[in-house]
Structure 1
């Protein structure tokens, strides 16, 4: 081999070693991925649509977004391989891992792996300003929209109303976020309780178009919710997150994480995690809730094992993943 040939080989090797992992190892990548999100009007759908566009643009991957019932459905769709990516809150994901999913009861979801932290999902509640509902206790005997069946909102609000004392006669209504807001506006329900990242599109539009009152949890309601759902943590919704909301709102929240099936190629999981973690400004442009989509929040997840590709990115960037989460 002459000098020129050796020089060319060396140059090619240098270029190859500097290429992104995605460009070096794509042979086992799928031609497309589907992201399980949530209903229109909710944060998952907006976040997923924007992140899907980033995947398509940066990784040259055909990424599609599917409207779903939310985390309870998403974790099962990823477990069964019907979706390659999904968004979940840690409560439903942990229950599914333990075989307590209402969609597949008795079947532990052992194929699900975490990729990266997203943001916190606070529980929220609103009524029309003309309503006589001033507190959560006033919702007894009322018609309450809780979001789509299978979502975080419907799962935990329904559990609350069924188990907390003093809420006899609550009639539960299931629909997507935007549809539930429309039902409140039209007088078909008395209250709209939900769970989604801030600001939630359905509430934002509702408050712009109508006079609305947002309901803050009192200490008793907070304690009851955390007793019924131990994974919940205290959360404060800042004043003026929405129109007609001059004061802070006291509530609880759950963390959201992106998940994938354990069989996702390691290089793909690495690149997806890298894209989300290394582009904070782009992520916030997708949705304001992504201000919490930061590597420093990786250990907010203590229940779902991380995908090896995600572990590789986090540990390369100074974040130790405990052995029990690998």
Structure 2
């Protein structure tokens, strides 16, 4: 880690243990502001690593969020971070929002929880299908947020530039939708979304389904997107499952972290999911069946080694698909 206070700690540590290296000693995990879920996840994972992997000092770092995390990793200021799987893919490939950056530096590590694209509209309004978003007033999410990046991808596929974007946070979007100031709101997040529950208590709500043909075309351009549904009953007015697409909230890690170190850390996290579920319930839903969800970039060799060892379903297909 290159932050000043950690550099000082490293200097002191090397006086006592000169055979250790900085990369082996410190693992900084970028998250988000301390009030958000990703910080809780990072802190829990750091604690498990510190208790179970000898020679590592892991810390959860408060950051401005996922977009900032990738930039900090690219600058060498973090060894690992929370990210969406789309950001992870684009950062690894040096494409999209990270075009022009060095590819191959940031690798997939583990998926924690899915986020689902919500296309939110009101009964009786002008939006009844994905195609209806063309030419409409659309809430997109606030600048700098990953949800806005996903909304940009969706709207570019649907409408090019033929729509009126409103780039505000989710709470403001649902108020604007309720007041008739926008026609639809887009948000990629873990369900249920509290502001949408609030909206549903005030207005007749509907979620717009994403049909198979549209999803297939979208995923052809953006491999990290995967198919999922928002279950019926998640929101009171929406009684049927709503097919949509999502990403994963997960961890990425620098390719520079040694393979053996990543193997030991991956093993520690996976063998302590029950304890981590006491930190946040998302860990209670993690398993060998979910650990790869949404990733389109190659796994770090240390993580790949462990996942092969425990026979993660589809691991060889994943390697073939990602070129890892």
Give the TM-score normalised by the residue count of structure 1. 0.70
Q: Which residue, out of 111, 114, 120, partners 1:117? A: 111
Counterpart of 2:233? Answer: 240
The root-mean-square deviation of aligned C-alpha atoms, in Å, is 3.8
Query: Which structure 1 segments of 5+ residues have no match?
Result: 1-24
CA 39–141 in structure 1, closer or farther in 2 if over 3 Å, else same: farther
Deviation sequence 1:197-246 (CA, Å, 0-9, x none): 33344434544565432222245544553455454333222111223221
Contact kept, 8 Å, 1:238 with 1:248, in 2: the verdict is yes
Counterpart CA distance in 2 for 1:187 and 1:82 is 44
For residues 147-162 of structure 1, what are the structure 2 equivalents within 5 Å? 147-149=141-143, 151-162=145-156
Contact kept, 8 Å, 1:119 with 1:291, in 2: the verdict is no
CA 101–132 in structure 1, closer or farther in 2 if over 3 Å, else same: closer
Counterpart CA distance in 2 for 1:279 and 1:177 is 34
Deviation sequence 1:116-169 (CA, Å, 0-9, x none): 12233322111244644333333333221222445543234323323435x764
Q: Which residue, out of 161, 169, 172, partners 2:165? A: 172
Query: Which structure 2 segments of 5+ residues have no match?
Result: 1-18, 52-57
CA 49–151 in structure 1, closer or farther in 2 if over 3 Å, else same: same
Determine if the alignment matches structure 1 residue 217 to structure 2 residue 214: no
Counterpart of 1:5? Answer: none
- CA shift for structure 1 position 281: 4.2
Counterpart of 2:188? Answer: 195
Structure (1 or 2) with the larger CA radius of gyration: 1
Deviation sequence 1:7-52 (CA, Å, 0-9, x none): xxxxxxxxxxxxxxxxxx9874566734235998xxxx42x13223
Deviation sequence 1:173-216 (CA, Å, 0-9, x none): 22344444444445543321121233344434544565432222
SS in 1 for 2:103: coil
Counterpart of 1:135? Answer: 129
Q: Which residue, out of 99, 119, 122, partners 2:94? A: 99
Q: Which residue, out of 53, 59, 63, partners 1:66? A: 63
Counterpart CA distance in 2 for 1:244 and 1:125 is 14
Deviation sequence 1:52-94 (CA, Å, 0-9, x none): 33135442744234342x4x55433322223333233333332
SS in 2 for 1:164: helix
The number of residues matched between the two structures is: 293
Counterpart CA distance in 1 for 2:99 and 2:282 is 32
SS in 1 for 2:297: coil
CA 250–271 in structure 1, closer or farther in 2 if over 3 Å, else same: same
